[in-house]
Chains A and B, each alone.
Chain A
Amino acid sequence: MISLQHFLFIAAILFCLGIYAVITRKNAIQVLIGIELMINASILNLVAFARYDVVNNNGQLFALFVIVLAAASVAVGLVIILNFFKRVKTIDPNKANSLRG
Chain B
Amino acid sequence: MVEQIVFYVFAAIAILSGVYVVASQNLVRSVFMFFVTLLSVAGLYIFALADFVALTQIVIYVGGVLVMLLFVFMLSSKDSLDNIINLKKEALSANRIPATIITIALLAIISYAILLVDFEQLDWIKSNKLLIDKAQTSNVHNIGVNIMGRFLLPFELISILLMMTLVGAAHLARKEPTND
Contacts and interface: CB of A to CB of B under 8 A. Distances in A.
A58 B161 CA distance: 21
A60 B178 CA distance: 44
B72 A69 contact: no
B166 interface: yes
Nearest to B54: A47
Contacts, number: 230
SS of B interface (majority) = helix
Per DSSP, chain A at the interface is helix
A2 interface: yes
Interface in A42-101: 43-44, 47-48, 50-57, 60-61, 63-65, 67-76, 78-83, 85-87, 91, 94, 101
A101 B69 CA distance: 24
B9 interface: no
Contacts of A94: 94
Contacts of B4: 2
Contacts of B103: 16-17, 19-20, 23
A91 B76 contact: yes
B52 to A, nearest CB: 7
